[in-house]
Amino acid sequence: MTALRNDPAAIVIDWGTTSFRAYLTTDEGKVLGSLETGDGIQSCAPGGFEQLLLGRIGIWTEAHGALPVVALGMITSRSGWVEVPYVRCPAGVDELAAGVKEVALANGSRMIFLAGLTDPTRLPFPDVMRGEETQVLGSGLDRDRTVVLPGTHSKWAEVEGGTIRRFQTFVTGEQFSLLTRHSFIARGMQPAGEADWAAFERGVRTIEENPAEADAFLSLIFSARTGMLAGELQPAEIVDYVSGLLIGLEFHQARGAGWWKDGDAIEIVGNDGLNDRYARAARLLGLEVREGSGEAAIAGALRIAVAAGLVKAPAMA
């Protein structure tokens, strides 16, 4: 019997270091229900992953039966439940599907753990991603383009010939967190209610207009303090100024690494709040921007699950 378009077909789990997110989906990726908790892998007792998972998704499996489960994120890493080796770039849906690992759960569900990607061309060591590849797949591999994935560890990925050909990581989000929580910057700033876009754009322009200073960023970041001492920056502006400096620096370094040139187009996929900042910076730098779906990771995970034979392909209308 053909499944109805709103019938539950799978549960997608995005299980990270500090968070657990679950999505009840149709075979087309429509989200029918979701939940989020702080049950990251670092807070789970050894050997307790399955019990925790079944407890969280039990309300869905009791109502709809033993649905297939698709897991991505750090749960598939060395410190997670099942370690899945990275798949080498270039890679598309079939290569990622061939890299999954499957387990049977106590409730009768089949569960697959998705592989991440490694780019062996990066120096000095191969780069890695685990989870972001589903966002790229979910936004489509049918168009050659550059995809930017903002986050704690931002990724720039090249889609070419139906594959993710290469990618590069920038630890922009983590640097922002460290600087605004644990440095001299944290002591001088005041929390801002809403984004101060003028301060953010000032940070981006400071990088763009002063490339030599941008290349000496360990010196330039001190402007977050000297600007305040000079009366040019208010304490409430500092957090967005620093955000602009860091995202501006990421774009500056990405251009130097050959990811874009003036007038190019990029696609931004990921967190809505960060998307806004990256899109604003990109447009300020003259780039054309396409913003992808916030649910691209779910769609990408299901594409891999279909190719791996865990989930049936959506019925044609």
Q: Which domains does the chain have, with CATH numbers?
A: 10-133+297-307 (3.30.420.300), 172-286 (3.30.420.310)
- Model confidence over 14-46: pLDDT tens digits? 999 889 999 999 988 999 999 999 999 999 988
Whether the CB-CB separation of 12 and 303 falls below 8 Å is answered with no
Please tell me the predicted confidence (pLDDT) of residue 1. 39
Report how far residue 288's alpha carbon sits from residue 262's, in angstroms, rounded to the nearest whole number. 10
- pLDDT tens column, 164-198: 999 999 999 999 999 999 999 998 888 778 999 99
Kindly provide the b/e burial profile for residues 80-93, where b requires at least 16 CB atoms within 10 angstroms of the residue's own CB: bbbebebbebbbbb
Is the model's pLDDT at 8 over the cut of 90?
yes
CB-based contacts of 85: which residues, under 8 Å, 6+ apart? 99, 115
pTM score, whole prediction: 0.93
